[in-house]
Amino acid sequence: MIAIQLREKASQVESRLVYWHGIAAIVTLFISILFGLLASIEMAAPGSIGTAAWLSWGRLRYDHTQGIMLGWLANAFFAFLYHAVPLLSGRPVTSVRLGQWLFGLWNFAIVLPGWVLVLAGFSQPLEWAEFPLAIDAFVVIALLLAVIQFLPPFFARGLEDLYVSSWYVIGGLVFTLLAYPMGNFVPELVPGARGAAFSGLWIHDAVGLFVTPLALAVIYYVIPAATGRPIYSHFLSMLGFWLLFFLYPLNGTHHYVFSVIPMSAQIGAILASSLLGVDVIIVVANLLLSARGSGWFSRDLGLRFVVTSTWLYLIVSLQGSLQAQMSINRSVHFTDWVVGHSHLAMLGFASFAAAGGIIHVWQRIPGARFNAKLVNHAYWLLLAGVLMMVVDLTIAGLVEARAWQSGAPWMDSVRAAGPYWSIRMWSFIPIGGGFGSLLAGLLTGERELRAA
C-alpha cells in the first residue's frame, strides 16, 4: 500500500491553464448539450425546428458526441491534469507555452472548426470519429503535444512509488495517441467488413482507453486527496489497471455481434467483455472501500461526485458485460437501450468524474469562486437527469426490440418509441439545469483562498 504523495508545491500547478480548460470544458459542454437537445427535439417533434441543412438531425448528432468527448470531457481532463500531474510527479508539466498551444489547438483548431465543418457538411460517418479527416490530423498532433506535456514529469523522476492515477494517465494518453489514427484513418483505407473490425475497436477505445482511464485517474486522485486517507489496496489498484488495459482493447468486436466478422473474433470480444465486468468489480471495490467511512457524501462535493461516478461506473460496466452476451445482444443491439448505455457511461460515469475533478481542482485555484450550495443542487439535478434519461431509453430499447421481434411493420416500432423520445427530450430540464447550476457554482460564491 502506498500513500498518495501530494507535494505542497502549489507554485508548480499551472492554475491559469486549469482555469482556462475548466471554463472551456463547461462552455463546450453547453454547446454539446444544445446539439443533443436539438437532435432530441427533432426525434420527439420532427420538423419543429426548421429544415435548414446545418440544423438537420444527422449533423447535430455528429457534433453532439464529438463535442462531449473532445470538448467537455477532454478539456475537463486537461484541467485536472494541469493540477494533478505536478502534484503526482513532483515536477511541473513540460512547458507553459506548450500548454497554451495545446489549449489553443484543442479548442480552436479541433473542437470549434470540427463543429462548424460538420454543420457545413464535411464529416466522416464513423462513430466517435465524426470530425473530418483534416481535423483528425490536428487531433493527432494535439494528442502528441499532450503526451509531451504530461508524461515527461513522470518519466523524469523515475519515482519508486508511482501512484495509480499516474498509470492511468500514462496508459490512457499513449494508447489514445495510437488508437485515434487507427479509428479515424484505417476505415477510410480498408473497406467494408474489414474496416468495420477496426471501427469496432475504436468505438470501444474512445470510451474505454481515453475517457475511462482519465476518469479513473480523477477518481483515484480525488478520493485520497479529499479524504486524507490512502487508497484501500495498492495491489487491487495494480490488478485493476493491468486487467483494464488488457481487456478493454479486446472488446471492440462486440459492437458487431452476429455480423460477418469471423465468429472467433466476436466470441473473443464477448469473452473479454464478460471478464471486464470482473475487472470493474475489482476496481470499484477498491475505490468504494477507500471511500468507506469517510463521510464521502457530506464531506466534500468533489468527493461526492467521484464516488457517485464510481457507482455509475459499476452499473454501466456490468450492463455492458450483459449486453455483449449473444442472448441479450440479439434483442437490444441497434435499439435505444444502447443509447441509454452510452449516456450512462458518458453523462453518468465520465461526466460525474470530470465534474468531480473540476470541482476538486477549482477549490484549489487561488482566487477562484466556489458556491457549494449551487454545486449541491447541480449534483441532485444531474443525478435525476441521468437516471431519467437512462431508464427511459432502456425501456424504449426493450419496446423497440419487442416490436422488431414481432414482425409488425417497421413504423410500429417508431410509433411505440415516440413517447419515450419525448421523455428523453424533457430530461434536458434536469440535465441542463444541473450543468447550469454547476457553472454558476464555479463562478459565484466566496473566493477560495486555500491552495493545494
Partner 1 sequence: MRRFLRMSYLAAAVGGIGFFVMSVLLLGVWPGRALDEQIRQTTPPHPLALSASEQRGRTVYAREGCAYCHTQQIRYLKRDVDRFGKATLAWETIFDYPHLWGTRRIGPDLSRESSVRSEDWQLSHLYAPRSLVRDSVMPDFPWLFDGAPDRPRQEVRDLLAYLETLGRDRELAGPEGEAHAKAAHDLSADEKEFAFGTGPLNASAAMPRRKGKYPALAISQDLRRGEELYARDCASCHGARGAGDGPGASGLRPRPANFTEHEYALDRASQVLWNGVAGTAMAGWRDLPSADLSAIAAVVRGFHAGQAEPQLPTDVLELGGRVYAEHCVQCHGDTGAGDGSAADQFPVAPANFQTARPSIAASLRVLRNGVEGTPMAPWSEKLSEGELSAVAYFVRGFYR
Smaller CB separation from partner 1, 337 or 370: 337
Assess 56 for contact with partner 1 (CB under 8 A): yes
Task: Kindly state the smallest distance separating residue 145's Cβ from partner 1, in Å.
Answer: 16
- Binding to partner 1 in span 364-383, by CB under 8 A: none
Smaller CB separation from partner 1, 62 or 370: 62
Task: Kindly state the smallest distance separating residue 183's Cβ from partner 1, in Å.
Answer: 10
In the set 48, 97, 160, 446, which binds partner 1 (CB under 8 A)? Answer: 160
Among 71, 78, 74, smallest CA distance to 31 is for 71
3-state secondary structure of 132: coil
Task: Kindly state the smallest distance separating residue 370's Cβ from partner 1, in Å.
Answer: 33
Q: What are the CA-CA distances from residue 75 to residues 80, 354, 418 (Å)?
A: 9, 9, 35
In the set 4, 13, 69, 197, which binds partner 1 (CB under 8 A)? Answer: 197
Assess 5 for contact with partner 1 (CB under 8 A): no
Q: Count the residues in the chain.
A: 452
The dihedral formed by the CA atoms of 331, 333, 337 and 343, expressed in degrees to the nearest 10: 160
For residue 73, the 8-state DSSP code is I
Assess 201 for contact with partner 1 (CB under 8 A): yes
Smaller CB separation from partner 1, 300 or 336: 336
In the set 27, 34, 105, 159, which binds partner 1 (CB under 8 A)? Answer: 159
Q: Max Cα separation, the chain? A: 66
CA distance 109 to 422: 35
Beta bridge partners of 447: 369
In the set 8, 48, 97, 189, which binds partner 1 (CB under 8 A)? Answer: 189
- The torsion angles phi and psi of 157, rounded to 5 degrees, stand at -75, -30
CA distance 21 to 26: 9
Task: Kindly state the smallest distance separating residue 170's Cβ from partner 1, in Å.
Answer: 4
Smaller CB separation from partner 1, 310 or 342: 342
Smaller CB separation from partner 1, 208 or 348: 208
In the set 77, 154, 232, 352, which binds partner 1 (CB under 8 A)? Answer: 154
Among 282, 199, 196, 286, smallest CA distance to 247 is for 282
Grid cell locating 246: 488488457
Grid cell locating 15: 492554475
Assess 407 for contact with partner 1 (CB under 8 A): yes
Assess 405 for contact with partner 1 (CB under 8 A): yes
- Binding to partner 1 in span 301-320, by CB under 8 A: none
237: left (phi over 0), alpha (psi -120 to 50) or beta: alpha
In the set 104, 228, 297, 330, which binds partner 1 (CB under 8 A)? Answer: 330
In the set 1, 5, 155, 366, which binds partner 1 (CB under 8 A)? Answer: 155
CA distance 317 to 302: 22
- Contact characters 224-263, partner 1, x per CB under 8 A: --------------x--xx--xx--xx-xx-xxxxxxxx-
* Rg of the Cα atoms in the chain: 21
Task: Kindly state the smallest distance separating residue 262's Cβ from partner 1, in Å.
Answer: 5
Assess 93 for contact with partner 1 (CB under 8 A): no
Grid cell locating 87: 502534484
Q: What are the CA-CA distances from residue 322 to residues 112, 270, 296 (Å)?
A: 37, 9, 29
Assess 327 for contact with partner 1 (CB under 8 A): no
- Contact characters 13-52, partner 1, x per CB under 8 A: -----------------------------xx--xx---xx
Among 358, 314, 426, smallest CA distance to 222 is for 358
